[in-house]
Amino acid sequence: MSRVYACPVGVLPVGEALRLDTSPVIALFNVGCEFYAINDRCSHGNASMSEGYLEYDATLECPLHDASFCLKPGKALCLPATDPLTSWAVYVDGSDVFVDIPADAR
């Protein structure tokens, strides 16, 4: 497991996303002061999920094909997506946000 530094807490406002150019590329979201990290690539196409449409209930809509996902488990909620998004644990340490990425995901 590798803990990756994402950003200071104050850099990512509520309701916004941040694309992290890590390996793999991560989309980090702030939903009601809770942070979620997913693979930035949609599971059904080559769309950047950090550019998706975020709902208040932690539902994310793909910007390319309108598939919806639940951010916490990454579960696909509607077609055309059927596969989940890969999601990772997020930790806040003081004023910094970190994402835990398994070694086999890098």
For residue 26, give the CATH number of its domain: 2.102.10.10
Angle CA 67–70–72, to nearest 5: 150
Number of domain units in the chain: 1
Q: How far from 25 is each of 12, 39, 101, 102, CA to CA, in Å?
A: 17, 6, 11, 13
Structural domain harbouring 91:
2-105
pLDDT tens string, the chain, 106 residues long: the values are: 789 999 999 999 999 999 999 989 999 999 998 999 999 999 988 899 999 999 989 999 999 988 999 998 899 999 999 999 999 999 999 999 999 998 777 6
Nearest to 44 by CA among 52, 35, 33: 52
Provide the 3-class DSSP secondary structure of residue 103.
Answer: helix
pTM: 0.92
d(CA 27, CA 38): 5
* Residues 53/64, Cβ–Cβ less than 8 Å: no
